[in-house]
Amino acid sequence: MQIACDSIDRLMMVEIRQRGANRGFKWTLYEAARAASDKPLVLAAAEALNGPPMKVGIVTGAAVPDHMPAGENDGPFGAVVLARTLVAIGHDVEIWTDPECAPPIEGLLKHLRVPARVGIFRMNDEAQQRQIAADRDALVAIERLGGNINGHLHGINGRVRDAFRTKVDVLFNTARELGKVTIGIGDGGNEVGFGKIREELLRRAPEHNQPDKTPCGGGIFSALATDILVTATTSNIGAYGVAAAIAMLRGDVSLCHDGAEEEALHYVGVGLNLTDGGGGGQVPVCDGIPAAANAAMVTLIKSVVQRFLDPPRARPF
């Protein structure tokens, strides 16, 4: 199990991004996160979610007015796929997001026939966030910004997102105070969960924090920690890896995501007005990675699970 999950962890970190994107940083994220975990990242998350029926909240969505009005596709795809796996093993799942991002997430749930609900954040309503934390047994953030050391939300290029995106720090901090499971899945260092390794990232890759590009001078790295942190080349891929690890724990490959289904999701997402966060267009691409390449990675992840579940086979010569 550990060998298979370590393989998935490493597979998820393969960079297939276009030139001009922030490249070469993914492996640093992984090494720092893995050093802070006593087991493979996807296995740690899967074990935390692989219990008796519980109430799970998934937090996602990243809209930018005039550029990504309904949000980017990294995050929502992973949220609905992981939700499907969690519902299949008996959990009650809600996906929480900002108002602009709710319609496409609802459309994706309908497409995959996932009986999960969508909850809508009221802008920085701390009482609502405390109530959600009290109501859920586990919280999973997928491609969701966490506040930096000064409490501000920043995109990967240093732009401030405070004015139009709910900050969910109260939600996750309250959940941790209540002893609930918290998991962060991200790909850039600025998302929920990376507070767990922030000091290590500052030591190893201070230039990626970009304090000179943030008005507050605090840089983009999130200071919001979670119990478990999963890193991947895209946050969607990280969510698929967690679903794959759950499939191994349950001995059921049908709990995995599927490559053909992944490719189709990209085109469904275009129809739902989701945007590629890598280049900004409404195209079948996620974080600059084409649909077919993402589908190939999903196929490889599922193949690792299938090989793990297959009966042993010894060569007879």
Domain containing residue 34: CATH number: 3.90.1640.20
Question: Is the residue at 227 inside a domain?
Answer: yes
Please name every residue paired with 141 in a beta bridge, in sequence order, or none if there are none.
Answer: 59, 184
Contact 297, 237 (CB under 8 A): yes
Handedness of CA 271, 259, 46, 152 (dihedral sign): negative
* pTM metric for this prediction: 0.96
The domain total for the chain is 1
Give residue 213's pLDDT: 94
Helices (H), 56-149: 76-88, 102-112, 126-135
Q: Is the distance from CB of 49 to CB of 138 less than 8 angstroms?
A: yes
Any domain includes 315: no
| Per-residue CA distances from 274 to 154, 178, 256, 281 (Å) | 20, 34, 23, 9
- Segment (H or E) for 55: strand 55-59
In a domain, 316, yes or no: no
Burial class of residue 314, CB neighbours in 10 A (0-12, 13-18, 19+): exposed
Which domain covers residue 195, as residue numbers? 2-309
Q: Residue 113, class by beta-carbon neighbours within 10 Å (0-12 exposed, 13-18 middle, 19+ buried)?
A: exposed
The predicted structure's pLDDT at residue 109? 98
- What amino acid occupies position 162? D
Answer yes or no: is 317 within a domain.
no
What sign has the CA pseudo-torsion 221, 222, 223, 225? Answer: negative
Residue 314 belongs to a domain: no
- The answer as to whether 259 is a domain residue is yes
In tens digits, what is the pLDDT along the chain, a chain of 317 residues? 999 999 999 999 998 876 655 667 899 999 999 999 999 999 999 999 999 999 999 999 999 998 999 999 999 999 999 999 999 999 999 999 999 999 999 999 999 999 999 999 999 999 999 999 999 999 999 999 999 999 999 999 999 999 999 999 999 999 999 999 999 999 999 999 999 999 999 999 999 999 999 999 999 999 999 999 999 999 999 999 999 999 999 999 999 999 999 999 999 999 999 999 988 899 999 999 999 999 999 999 999 999 999 998 888 89
What angle, 0 to 180 degrees and rounded to 10, lies between the N-to-C axes of helices 41-49 and 235-250?
60
For residue 169, the SS3 value is: helix
Q: What is the CA radius of gyration of the chain?
A: 18
